A = this chain, B = another copy of it.
Amino acid sequence: MAPDPLIAAGVPGLVDLDPATFRAAAHQVVDLIADYLEGVEGYPVFPAIEPGSLRALFPAAAPDAPVPLGEILADYQALIVPNATHWQHPGFLAYFATTASGPGILGEMLTAALGQNPMLWRTSPIGTELEGVVVDWLRQALGLPEGFDGLLTDTASTSTLIAIAAAREAAGLKASAEGLAGRPELADGVRVYASAEAHSSIEKACMTLGLGRASLTRIAVNDRYEMDPAALAREVAADRAAGRVPLAVVATIGTTSSTSVDPVTAIAEIAEAERLWLHVDAAYAGPVALLPELRAPFAGWERADSIVVNPHKWLFTPLDASLLLTRRMDQLRAAFSLQPEYLRTIDRVRPVRDYNEYQPQLGRRFRALKLWILIRAFGLDGLRARIAGHLALAAEVREWIAADPDWELLAPTPFSTVCFRYHPAGVSESMLDELNAAVMDAVNRTGEVFLSHTRLAGRFTIRLAIGNLRTEERHVARAWELLRREAARLGAGG
């Protein structure tokens, strides 16, 4: 970029990049992006660096003078890309994958340029109404009945927070208006229930919402890591007897550690009998319900008050996009609606859907656009085929592990995530955690694949989670090869 002509001329600076400069730079960026995606396997999935090593690469203060775009893009290539964790790499088998698919990237490009803020219908008619379209497309595709409405949020954390905030209102607490402090009827506390394996976002929602971590009762799981509904019923009864106010239960279809599936129908029975809000966390596994023949794990979720499914996990959508479906939009509105004068609009048609009234934030990104593009570009059949492919790969990995006597499966594999450890004969239980941590670390240090871990029944557990759009059989086969190689090396040395 040439020196800013307006500053040079002493004219008040009021302009963007000149159009030709922008167009040329954007084409250059597209080539950087396309080259990156084509060559992503050339990067180590996780870079060989330690915390604190990057900050010194950058100047301590921002420049006063403009930097040419060419220099900025060169710095991007030199400083940013090599120091990223490559979530786009097909060897990314950690956590749950987020893929920014090609259609998703095109969607984000257009989203950025169009600059919508669908906080009000009036601030983005298309952003508002297309959100309604896409939410309903997904509802139908997931096999959920009419009556579920919803919205797109940033993350499952926010979706679950909204659900529990709505539960506060549905229980008649008037928490939004009156708060939770100094309420004699709540003197003995409020309770939210989730399994011992449920995601930390539920606990965080309780923290944020003023319920406190103490309000979350963790329900015991069986040896398949599924919530025990009898234990739930006992806890609710004990809480009622003690004067506490049970509010909501979160059932998980696809827990984070082992992707276990809570018995939603049994939990729904209890929730209905006890008048608890039922929130279903299917943030990871939800897209499997796009395949009608694979909906068994989802039985009962249509009875939920709210459901979260994350397109930015297993629907190949760039961060961020979380789908919150609910049969009770009115309770979301009770929890979050405010209409200051500066947000009132002169609309001739009522009621108007102003999505800011259903979530904690006022400002909103136009997330429906990338989903509209992505769903059409792949087609539902294309999405189904890719999810089915991941499930088949996971089944294959599971077979490899089951067939090797030195390795041990540590949980069922209902979806695409395999939980296991190295457990050679003659190594005592007390040594296994350290050995498996070392094996995983050694595999990750190859840079070819990236795995993460959890603990199941107290045991260090390696997770191999398939969900990246670009992962093929050769990548998981290589992961298995590296695991065995490093295990043999470290096991022998141990």
> Quick check: B206 and A209 within 8 Å, CB to CB?
no
Contacts of A111 in B (CB 8 A): 108
How many residues does chain A have at the interface if contact means C-beta atoms less than 8 Å apart? Answer: 190
Binding stretch for chain B, among A156-164, A232-240, A485-493:
A156-164
Distance in Å: Cβ of A252 to nearest Cβ of chain B? 13
> Quick check: B37 and A33 within 8 Å, CB to CB?
no
Distance in Å: Cβ of A335 to nearest Cβ of chain B? 7
A38 at the interface (CB under 8 A from B): yes
Q: Which residue of B lies closest to A66 (CB)?
A: B379
Within 8 A of B (CB), among A84-120: 84-88, 95, 98-106, 108-117
A294 at the interface (CB under 8 A from B): no
> Quick check: A179 and B214 within 8 Å, CB to CB?
yes
> Quick check: A58 and B130 within 8 Å, CB to CB?
yes
Within 8 A of B (CB), among A433-476: 437, 441, 452-455, 463, 469-472
> Quick check: A385 and B7 within 8 Å, CB to CB?
yes
A83 at the interface (CB under 8 A from B): yes
> Quick check: A190 and B179 within 8 Å, CB to CB?
yes
8 Å CB contact of A84 from B58, B79, B116, B342:
B116
A363 at the interface (CB under 8 A from B): yes
A14 at the interface (CB under 8 A from B): yes
> Quick check: B12 and A155 within 8 Å, CB to CB?
no
A51 at the interface (CB under 8 A from B): yes
Binding stretch for chain B, among A121-129, A295-303, A399-407:
A121-129
Q: Given A1-B377, A182-B188, A204-B336, check contact A26 B34 (CB 8 Å).
A: yes
A201 at the interface (CB under 8 A from B): yes
Contacts of A154 in B (CB 8 A): 154, 361, 363, 365
8 Å CB contact of A381 from B65, B80, B136, B365:
B65
**Shortest 4 CB-CB contacts between residues of A and residues of B:** A210-B210, A179-B212, A12-B389, A13-B385
**18 A–B contact pairs at CB < 8 A?**
A13-B388, A16-B469, A26-B106, A29-B30, A53-B125, A54-B129, A67-B379, A84-B125, A85-B123, A100-B113, A112-B318, A116-B319, A155-B363, A175-B212, A177-B207, A179-B210, A208-B208, A341-B454
